[in-house]
Amino acid sequence: MRLKKMTRVGVALVVLANVLAACSGGGKDESAASRGNDQVEVSMLFAESVFGNIHFELIKEFEKNHPNIKIKAETLPDSSLFDTLRTRISTAELPDIYQLNIGHDTTAMAMKQGYIYDLSQLEASRNFSDSIRKATSLGDKQAIFTLGLGVLGLTYNKAMLAEVGYNEPPQTWDQLLDAGKKLKEKGKDLLVYSSKWETGVGNVFHWTFGTHAVKNDAFKQAYLSNSINWSLPENRAILAEGFQRFKELNDFVRTGSFTNEYATAQQSFANEDAAMLLGGTWEARTLHELAPNLDFGFINLPYTPDAENAYVFVPGDGFAINAKGQHIEEAKAFLNWLFSKEIYGKISEAEGSLSAQSGVGKPDKAYSDAQKWLETDRVISFANTGPIPGATWVALGNAAQEYTFKGELDKVIDKFISEYNKTKAK
């Protein structure tokens, strides 16, 4: 999610030739060389899990072919990325290239402050379909080059579920809770997740809101436009349902999930402390590295019968260029190279995620069904990337945790509604 801008016509003509060569994965950089032998340092900010742990070798390969450009990478824990971006945007300290999620409130902040460069001008933009370009655009600007297609769900340990009678993963909410009870009797947990990761903090509410949006057009429109009137009894009932489901599920959640870093949750799953991990179609390589012999699958949360259930999707995080940066041409050269079909194929293979470029990469076998989910009419975006601003989503998760521990349903519902109304679209 990140990128930058510059308008020297003389340089641009030279860069064009370099970009075309870079898109094939090879060639030497000319943009920096045309200004002399000084090396240009391009700063880059991203979460540590983003490249499937191959960013060091990618950067080394690029710098070898582009000796006048050095990539200075700064990595952060997944849970602190968006808070850091908010700070960097507000203090005008964004790097040349930075990670973004197209629907997240940080992207709107960056756009408002003029930090979004239009990537449709880059050669690599042609490697994405029209639908992906549209899905990653703000207004008439392609804001990011996405690293993949993100589908939220539950990664599950096949052997652990089989031990409690589920040779196939639970298909209903009652079966899910039944598996939780049986695992608990064996001293194991059903689920682990990371509440420090914004997408995970409210867990079941992605499906609470998504499933009701699938069934009710009026709620869907209000939900997607962040303009829900929660004072309506039918909408308040949706909140009550979500809080109750959150509480029911968290009877079988591993202790610490409320405060986990995402990496901690992944490690707990790999250690077989929990049978399921709330995550998505972007973490296959990490899990294989943590537990090479673990046989796992991936399912949609069985919130409601499958024919009514929502699939929670968003274009995966990607990279943007800082439109106010000092090294836009060099940043463009790097992203053109990074998202050439050859190099992006390496990233997609490393992550094992669903590829955002047609004909490139092969997803991990665990995610084969997830590709079919996206062909339905029940696809809803992540709740905290568009429909509900990130800070409001965190407030929802905190309120749900309060209800889990203390009860007082009406009190926590009112607390969330108060926070929602602060950022509600008028």
> How many residues are recorded in the chain?
426
On whether residue 379 sits in a domain, the answer given is no
Whether residue 394 has pLDDT greater than 70: yes
The residue to which tokens 């060099």 are assigned:
330
Residues 123 and 145 sit within 8 Å (Cβ to Cβ): no
Residue 260's identity, in one-letter code, is N
Say yes or no: 273 and 403 in one domain: yes
pLDDT level of residue 320 (50, 70, 90 thresholds)? very high
On whether residue 377 sits in a domain, the answer given is no
pLDDT at 20 over 90: no
pLDDT at 11 over 50: no
Closest by CA position to 374, among listed 126, 102, 135, 99: 135
Question: Do 412 and 270 belong to one domain?
Answer: yes
Is the pLDDT assigned to residue 15 strictly greater than 70? no
Domain count, the chain: 2
Q: Quick one: 33 and 177 in the same domain?
A: no
The token pair that represents 415 in the structure block: 């607390």
- Judgement on whether residues 112 and 235 belong to the same structural domain of the protein: no
Domain of 65 in residue numbering reads as: 9-148+316-351
| pLDDT for residue 27 is more than 70 | no
> What's the pTM value of the predicted model, to 2 decimals?
0.77
Q: What tokens were used for 50?
A: 């983003």
Residue 367 lies in a domain: no
CA atoms within 13 A on the CB side of 323: 16
Q: Which two tokens stand for residue 264?
A: 């901690």
Model pLDDT, residue 2:
33
Is residue 21 over pLDDT 80?
Answer: no
| CA gap 307, 315 in Å, rounded | 23
Domain match, 186 and 323 both: no
Average pLDDT over residues 354-374: 86
pLDDT given at position 287: 92
Residue 22 has pLDDT above 60, yes or no: no
Same domain, 54 and 203: no
Does residue 2 belong to any structural domain of this protein? no
Q: What is the pLDDT of residues 176-186, one digit of tens each?
A: 999 999 999 99
- 37 and 130 housed in the same domain: yes
182 Rama sector, left if φ>0, alpha if ψ -120 to 50, beta otherwise: alpha
**Average pLDDT value over all residues in the chain:** 88
Whether 126 has a pLDDT exceeding 90, the answer reads: yes
Q: What angle do CA 53, 59, 64 make, to 5 degrees?
A: 140
- Does residue 5 or residue 397 have the better pLDDT? 397
pLDDT of residue 421: 95
Residues 95 and 243 in one domain: no
**pLDDT category, 375, cuts 50, 70, 90?**
confident
Pair 327, 222 in one domain:
no
Over 60: is that where the pLDDT of 130 sits? yes
Instruction: Give the other-Cβ count within 10 Å of 71's Cβ.
Output: 21
The answer, yes or no, to whether residue 353 has pLDDT greater than 50, is yes
Residue 378 lies in a domain: no
Measured distance CA(137)–CA(103) in Å, rounded: 10
Q: Which token pair is 352?
A: 């094992």
| C-beta of residue 150 within 8 angstroms of C-beta of residue 315 | yes
Cβ burial, residue 92 (10 Å; 0-12/13-18/19+): exposed
For the chain, what is the radius of gyration of the CA atoms?
22
Q: pLDDT digit string (tens) for 63-115?
A: 999 999 999 999 998 888 889 999 999 999 999 999 998 888 899 899 999 99
What tokens appear for 97 in the block? 């290239």
Contact 253, 189 (CB under 8 A): yes
Whole-number Å distance between alpha carbons of 340 and 357: 10
- 167 and 32 inside one domain: no
Q: 414 with 322, same domain?
A: no
Domain boundary among 327, 351, 375: 351
Q: Mark whether 154 and 282 lie in a shared domain.
A: yes
pLDDT band at 413 (very low <50, low <70, confident <90, very high): very high
Give 6 or 335, the one with higher predicted confidence.
335
Which of 326, 351, 376 marks a domain boundary?
351
Specify the CATH number for the domain of residue 132.
Answer: 3.40.190.10
Residues 31-49 pLDDT 10s: 544 445 588 999 999 998 7
Indicate whether 1 belongs to any domain: no
Residue 359 lies in a domain: no
How far CA 330 is from CA of 42, 71, 99, 195, 270, in Å, comes to 7, 10, 17, 37, 39
347 in Cβ contact with 58 (< 8 Å): yes
- Give residue 48's pLDDT: 85
